[in-house]
Structure 1
């Protein structure tokens, strides 16, 4: 359709924002919103001097809607820079940064037609935004960023979503490192597992991140939430513990003494969130 372009669209918001209004001060909530917006910000709009310089590579426009953020990444570019995996990586880092600041988020990703303007100046609208919002509202109950199943299928069929020179197998391998399916069959960004390769200090950084994640879950499980809210943190605890237990099984029980001062078996055991 004229004026629209195909984009990767993610609708994100802070988990349980309404309940925060009764639990935190205005200053604390404002601080969380400022951080959330900073972590999710898009690219600065710019005005290329020549038409041939438009859409050289994938760019992101981020739109703020109260406690929600809409991220729209272009895919119809002159150079194939892998916009699908690139956006997954950006969202992974958004989750890492938010959790490090005590903020839990949820979201939904779709691909479809959007209006952005030639220089990303907006206004931002389109069917993909509606689809992402409805998916997040109706299907994303837990603190995850879900990826629509049709998007996962499209990724392997549409070379415009690939990095230049990649095969379908290459793209599948990258996606497999970043995505998992929950018990309902919903694809989501597996940020706990995938964050290992994004840490500056590798295992040291990852273990510290898991420790922060454990403490965040424990605080929320002990916060006296209503049952329907507690279910979200029960899911998060189970996801956390599955990840930690898989890590425990992947190491020799005596590994880690020299590097960490204790056996990894003991370190990972301490990271489990009690039932």
Structure 2
């Protein structure tokens, strides 16, 4: 048997990143669509979560006949909320959860089931065995995304401080830590506020325009703002 190579296992209690995502218009979806259609949509998003966990995993134990993957990014779904957790607050995990959230957000927009969310950082319990999840970062991410007025993902002040600190310590020629983000005036319910946003670039204009088909009145402002933010993020 080959000697095993161990990588730090998941800690239930740790300083980590959390991405809190909310499926927009979930109650309306349940009302307008059949039970099977809603179930299919949710299963699609959950399947994407599991795929992302595999993509952002790494070998934990190797033997002669098997390889166990210990993902550094895990997720859990509660009704219309999806939460992503990193293993810790390392730069590696920050980059991985940032890219995972970007892929998930773009996929949700492309599927016609848009989400919005926020990413926070701090001491948090993510006990998957006993389904126990709590901590100030979870509350902070939930409250911040609730104020967001477009289909996107915004970073809170703790994550912004982390980005600034890591960028300050970079050696010459090293890539910036915030390469998955764009700092823009961001639409909130209270007005336009400067924040770091997850960069969206793999969604087509047609896919964004299609979002108008499912909303009317005030809810369309989310689509207006999303298209405007997408254009600003990808301005040449």
TM-score (norm 1): 0.64
- 1:91 to 2:101 alignment: yes
- 1:7 to 2:16 alignment: yes
What does the per-residue CA deviation read over 1:185-231, in whole Å, with 9 as the maximum and x for residues that have no partner?
A: 12211212xx4xxxxxxxxxxxxx414424324434xx5x132x121
Q: Write out aligned runs for 1:1-275 (5 A).
A: 4-41=13-50, 43=53, 59-75=72-88, 82-117=92-127, 121-122=129-130, 123-137=132-146, 139-157=147-165, 167=171, 170=174, 173-181=176-184, 182=186, 183-192=192-201, 195=202, 209-220=203-214, 223=215, 225-227=216-218, 229-242=219-232, 246-247=235-236
Contact 1:15 1:105 survives alignment (8 Å): yes
Distance in 1 of aligned mates of 2:86 and 2:121: 9
Contact 1:100 1:212 survives alignment (8 Å): no
Deviation at 1:62, TM superposition (A): 1.2
Which has the larger Rg?
Answer: 1
Secondary structure, aligned partner of 1:29: helix
| Aligned residue pairs, count | 209
Give the 3 Å change call, closer, same or farther, for CA 149–168 of structure 1 in structure 2. Answer: farther
Q: Which moved more, 1:210-219 or 1:181-190?
A: 210-219
- Structure 1 regions of 5+ residues with no counterpart? 50-56, 196-208, 248-275
Structure whose residues are more often helix by fraction = 1
Greater relative contact order (Cα < 8 A, sep 6+): 2
Deviation at 1:14, TM superposition (A): 0.9
Distance in 1 of aligned mates of 2:30 and 2:172: 46
Give the 3 Å change call, closer, same or farther, for CA 3–27 of structure 1 in structure 2. Answer: closer
Contact 1:180 1:190 survives alignment (8 Å): no
Superposition CA RMSD, Å: 3.4
Structure whose residues are more often strand by fraction = 2
Distance in 2 of aligned mates of 1:26 and 1:20: 9
Give the 3 Å change call, closer, same or farther, for CA 169–154 of structure 1 in structure 2. Answer: farther
Distance in 1 of aligned mates of 2:77 and 2:212: 30
Distance in 1 of aligned mates of 2:223 and 2:20: 21
Give the 3 Å change call, closer, same or farther, for CA 10–31 of structure 1 in structure 2. Answer: same
Q: Which runs of 4+ in 1 moved over 6 A?
A: none
Corresponding residue for 1:53?
A: none
Give the 3 Å change call, closer, same or farther, for CA 23–175 of structure 1 in structure 2. Answer: same
